[in-house]
């Protein structure tokens, strides 16, 4: 903040405050409880929360639960958990739109009494036909001129359950010739016998989104109702509703662009499909970008806040590179995460001149860039594990790790020189033999001798054996996310499970959500769903290499 010019939303609010339109700012995040929140929602949450904080105003969390069809209590809980985790504190201001059904009903009667709404008997299909097109004006409904008394009577009987589902609707009486199709006598109430998660069977009529949403905002005293661009065309209707209902300080709708990630599935509908067809192991599968998935993967609220800030607020749709999200978590964990040694694809290394049966403890800094994380002791002895690809029998040019005759540094330990190796009957290397230089303890030789390679290792006798999961994009990037028929291009290799990894003993105590840098291998997080006490399963959050530059 302070480094960039104020975004267009702040400019509108500044102007409104200057003109005395509102005393205190109030924003809201209005999720429909029909799925888990994703990274796009994080943008909306942090924008609304951030604006409220910035202006010393209020931030409401409101469940937009006016459509009982797809809504479930499971989602009401997950959404609260995710919003809280992101740090958007609603300070007790938790609301349910369904608690306003009485007021919405009253508002509808008010419109009827003003001659601004009528009960229409046209079928859904007829309404669509009568509505016209972009180039053709609509046609008025034959029921448009019913009297106020008749409309009131019919609407009350709709509520009383006298008519079958879909047989009648309440429509706003606006303008069938409007160039904006949303203004052509839109439906504002429908008959639908559905059990609601909050109000049960109390209602058999339900308000439509475009009618309900402005009322919800007005009831709560929301001043600036921030929504995404697809609602821009609905704004005249939003304004019509709050004007006709004569709210003293009507809220104002402002649209901003949705956050999209290139080659990543963000839409709730599509994520749901992947969950239901078993492509992923739930809404929190670490390859997804739901908030729950990002949390399980090892993303922090700070990293997501930073990402949303970098992505910025705009009025034009665009797509953000996933690499920017990765940049943000690397940047956040760089100083926070202890740097430990883990060998993902182990091969045995024997130090021939190290005394058998002896173990010593070496001191290692937990994070050389952040001394506050302290130091730890690492056991060292004659037999170690190193990464299989840190040894080559016949090295190519510029290979500086172990090969016969070459000397490298074992991180935090000693210089070792390769003196031989063993193979099994298939020609696969099974053991690498080295000798060590006792004078190089700590990783430097007193004679000033230099080595080009430094490799990580773990002590064979004390290492823990763990499963490590490596992730790639769920989507086949060469083909893009969606096909014309709505199917997705799934990358068959998005999950690699390594079951034979060896880690420093200290890592065996890791708990779900604990994150580490595994030196040279990336940032990893103990998977909260798969780890057990004393038996952590680690998943890679992100590799260390980055193509993204700020
Ligand atoms: P989806 O299309 O992914 O299902 P939605 O819009 O149906 O999302 P809601 O629960 O209705 O989900 O959204 C709650 C709020 O989050 C709305 O104000 C919506 O505009 C906003 N939102 C949804 N997706 C994004 C996104 N990709 N970027 C920014 N804001 C978003
Ligand atoms: Mg929605
Ligand atoms: Mg949706």
Domain regions of the chain by residue span: 8-256, 343-456
What ligand 1 atom has the least distance to the C-alpha of 267? 3
pLDDT, one tens digit per residue, over 95-146 is: 999 999 999 999 999 999 999 999 999 999 999 999 999 999 999 999 999 9
Residue from 27, 40, 255 whose mutation best tests the ligand 1 pocket (most atoms within 8 A of CB): 40
Fold of 343-456: Ribosomal Protein L25; Chain P (2.40.240)
The Cα angle at residue 78 between residues 74 and 80, in degrees rounded to 5 = 120
**Ligand with an atom nearest the CA of residue 31:** 1
Q: Where on the phi/psi map is residue 522: left (φ > 0), alpha (ψ -120 to 50), or beta?
A: left
Q: Nearest bound ligand to CA 38?
A: 1
- Residue 268 Cα to ligand 3 middle (Å): 6
Tell me what percent of the residues of the chain surpass a pLDDT of 70: 99
Residue 38 has pLDDT above 60, yes or no: yes
> In terms of DSSP bridges, do strands 537-542 and 464-471 run parallel, antiparallel, or are they unpaired?
parallel
- Average pLDDT for residues 171-185, to the nearest whole number? 98
pLDDT tier at 381, thresholds 50, 70, 90: very high
Which tokens sit at 459? 């002590």
Strand partners, 318: 259
Q: For 7, which DSSP code? A: P
32 marked as part of a ligand binding site: yes
Q: Is 38 labeled as ligand-binding?
A: yes
| 43 annotated ligand-binding residue | yes
Beta strands at 342-343 and 318-320: parallel, antiparallel or unpaired: unpaired
According to CATH, the topology of domain 8-256 is: Rossmann fold (3.40.50)
pTM of the entire predicted model: 0.94
Q: How far is the CA of 78 from the centre of ligand 1 (A)?
A: 15
What is the average pLDDT across 49-60? 98
Report how far residue 131's alpha carbon sits from residue 140's, in angstroms, rounded to the nearest whole number: 8
Does the CA dihedral 19-21-24-27 come out positive or negative?
negative
pLDDT band per the 50, 70, 90 thresholds, residue 5: low
Give pLDDT tens digits for 216-225: 999 999 999 9
Our answer on whether the CB atom of 272 is closer than 6 Å to any ligand 1 atom is no
Using only C-alpha atoms, what is the Rg of the chain? 31
Q: How far is CA 255 from the centre of its chain?
A: 21
Give the separation between CA 196 and CA 66, rounded to whole angstroms: 9
213 close to ligand 1 (CB < 6 Angstrom) = no
Looking at the CA of residue 43, tell me the nearest atom of ligand 1: 29
What are the tokens at 11?
Answer: 């400019």
What is the C-alpha to C-alpha distance for residues 298 and 471, in angstroms, rounded to an integer? 12
pLDDT greater than 80 at residue 550 = no
User: What is the whole-number distance in angstroms between the Cα of residue 34 and the centre of ligand 3?
Assistant: 8
């Amino acid at each position: 903040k302070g480094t960039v010019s104020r975004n267009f939303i702040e400019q509108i609010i500044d102007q409104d405050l200057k003109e005395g339109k509102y005393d205190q700012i109030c924003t809201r995040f209005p999720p429909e409880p029909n799925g888990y929140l994703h990274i796009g929602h994080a943008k909306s949450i942090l924008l609304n929360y951030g604006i409220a904080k910035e202006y010393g105003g209020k931030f409401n969390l409101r469940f937009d639960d006016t459509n009982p069809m797809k809504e479930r209590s499971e989602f009401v809980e997950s959404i609260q958990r995710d919003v809280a985790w992101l740090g958007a504190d609603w300070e007790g201001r938790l609301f349910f739109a369904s608690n306003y059904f009485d007021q919405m009903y009253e508002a509808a009667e008010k419109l009827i009494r003003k001659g601004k709404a009528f009960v229409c008997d046209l079928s859904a299909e007829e309404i669509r036909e009568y509505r016209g097109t972009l180039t053709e004006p609509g046609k008025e409904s034959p029921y448009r001129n019913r009297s106020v008394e008749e409309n009131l009577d019919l609407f009350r009987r709709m509520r009383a359950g006298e008519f079958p589902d879909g047989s009648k609707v309440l429509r706003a009486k606006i303008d069938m010739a409007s160039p904006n199709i949303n203004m052509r006598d839109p439906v504002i109430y429908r008959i639908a016998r559905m059990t609601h998660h909050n109000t049960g069977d109390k209602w058999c009529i339900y308000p439509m989104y475009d009618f309900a949403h402005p009322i919800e905002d007005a009831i709560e005293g929301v001043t600036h109702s921030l929504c995404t661009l697809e609602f821009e065309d609905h704004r005249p209707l939003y304004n019509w509703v709050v004007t006709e209902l004569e709210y003293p300080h009507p809220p104002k709708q402002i649209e901003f662009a949705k956050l999209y990630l290139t080659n990543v599935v963000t839409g709730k509908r599509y994520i749901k499909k992947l969950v239901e067809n078993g492509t992923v192991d739930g809404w929190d599968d670490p390859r997804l970008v739901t908030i729950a998935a990002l949390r399980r993967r090892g993303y922090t609220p700070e990293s997501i806040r930073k990402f949303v800030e970098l992505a910025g607020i705009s009025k034009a749709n665009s797509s953000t590179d996933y690499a920017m999200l990765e940049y943000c978590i690397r940047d956040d964990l760089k100083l926070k995460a202890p740097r430990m040694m883990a060998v993902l694809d182990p091969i045995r290394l024997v130090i021939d001149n190290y005394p058998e049966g002896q173990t010593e403890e070496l001191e290692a800094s937990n994070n050389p860039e952040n001394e506050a994380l302290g130091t730890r002791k690492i056991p060292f002895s004659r037999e170690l594990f190193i990464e299989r690809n840190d040894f080559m029998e016949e090295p190519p040019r510029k290979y500086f790790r172990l090969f016969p005759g070459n000397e490298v540094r074992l991180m935090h330990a000693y210089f070792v020189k390769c003196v031989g190796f063993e193979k099994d009957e298939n020609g696969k290397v099974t053991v690498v033999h080295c000798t060590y230089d006792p004078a190089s303890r700590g990783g430097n030789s007193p004679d000033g001798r230099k080595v080009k390679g430094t490799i990580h290792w773990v002590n064979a006798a004390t290492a823990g054996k763990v499963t490590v999961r490596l992730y790639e994009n769920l989507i086949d990037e060469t083909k893009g996310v969606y096909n014309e028929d709505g199917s997705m291009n799934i990358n068959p290799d998005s999950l690699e499970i390594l079951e034979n990894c060896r880690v420093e003993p200290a890592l065996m105590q890791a708990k779900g959500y604990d994150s580490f840098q595994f030196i040279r291998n990336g940032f990893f997080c103990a998977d909260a769903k798969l780890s057990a006490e004393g038996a952590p399963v680690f998943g890679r959050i992100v590799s260390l290499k980055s193509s993204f530059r700020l």
